[in-house]
Amino acid sequence: MRKKIVAGNWKMNNDLAQTETLITELKAQSNPAEVEVMIAPSFTNLWQAFNSLKDDSIEVIAQNMHFAESGAYTGEISAAMLKSLGIKTVILGHSERRAYFNETDELLAKKVDAALANDMRVIFCFGEELADRKSGNEEVVVESQIKNALFHLGADAFKHIVLAYEPVWAIGTGETASPEQAQDMHAFIRKTVADTYGNDVANNVSILYGGSCKPSNAKEIFSKPDVDGGLIGGAALNAADFYAIANAF
Ligand code: 13P
């Protein structure tokens, strides 16, 4: 059975003191059974966060990494560095990385390979822009993002991949995909995986929704059969809101 996951992507928010405060508030909440809860603080606060949550079931994950093992890549972070802290999961392909840091499908394929070679789990993000949806091209765009970055992998690799559909027009805008839009796209994504890798692989891969997910809409979105959880931005910065979402299944 595929896992239910709620992951908080803190993006470039929270300094060290704010990270400690939010983690203290998160620890005061009780973790829902059968839902994996994760948070992705910034690189500078990963070590602190990891240690603060050592005895908690919340997993601390990274927002990004470089594909190289080490070398002359000023300002970058490798999988080996993350692993040395105890980090086992990394978000790759977020639309903000694609839009502001020119991350292409080709680059992301290399990052995915590097993460898997280091025994890390990948939360792979993708999603169409507003213009794509308006022109009815959302499935074409999503299919090519997934295929270009992931479909060179063998079927076994999908045990370590979580898919995160994040329509760009819904991120940080307050506009959420309707539960039906999310379900339609998630079903399409699962079928795309099934067509190449078979039903077993497709039925076991978790597909998260991201984009203005909040306590008020999470229940309905998570009730859809192909939605296995959420990747949460703004609402993950508030402990009560984040846990209201994690408890929305
Ligand atoms: P918001 O929840 O703030 O829309 O962000 C979603 C997101 O980008 C999570 O990765």
Burial class (CB in 10 A: 0-12, 13-18, 19+), 105: middle
User: How far is the centre of ligand 1, averaged over its atoms, from the C-alpha of 26 (Å)?
Assistant: 18
Asked if 62 and 43 count as a contact pair (C-beta separation under 8 A), the reply is yes
Q: Which helix (H) or strand (E) holds 156?
A: none
User: How far is the centre of ligand 1, averaged over its atoms, from the C-alpha of 71 (Å)?
Assistant: 31
A 10 A CB-CB count for 109 gives 19
Q: Which residues does ligand 1 sit against, CB inside 6 Å?
A: 9, 94, 166, 171-172, 210-213, 231-235
- The percentage of the chain sitting over the pLDDT mark of 70, rounded to a whole number, equals 100
SS3 147: helix
- Model pLDDT, residue 176: 87
Annotated catalytic residue 166: yes
User: How far is the centre of ligand 1, averaged over its atoms, from the C-alpha of 231 (Å)?
Assistant: 7
Asked if 61 and 7 count as a contact pair (C-beta separation under 8 A), the reply is yes
SS3 36: strand
Q: Which of 36, 96, 138, 166 is catalytic?
A: 166
**Closest ligand 1 atom to 174 CA:** 4
155-186 residues labelled b (16+ CB within 10 A) or e (exposed): eebbebbbbbbbbbbbbeeeebbebebbbbbb
Q: What would the pLDDT profile of 151-197 be if each residue is shown by its tens digit?
A: 999 999 999 999 999 999 999 888 889 999 999 999 999 999 999 99
Q: What would the pLDDT profile of 202-246 be if each residue is shown by its tens digit?
A: 999 999 999 999 999 999 999 999 999 999 999 999 999 999 999
**DSSP summary character for residue 135:** T
**Closest ligand 1 atom to 236 CA:** 2
- Model pLDDT, residue 101: 98
Q: Which of 66, 94, 103, 138 is catalytic?
A: 94
Decide if pLDDT at 131 tops 90.
yes
User: How far is the centre of ligand 1, averaged over its atoms, from the C-alpha of 9 (Å)?
Assistant: 7
- Model pLDDT, residue 61: 98
To the nearest whole number, what is the mean pLDDT of the chain? 97
Closest by Cα among 106, 121, 117 to 68: 117
Annotated catalytic residue 152: no
State the average pLDDT over residues 135-153.
Answer: 98
Residue 81 to residue 239: CA distance in whole angstroms: 28
Q: First-to-last CA distance in the chain?
A: 15
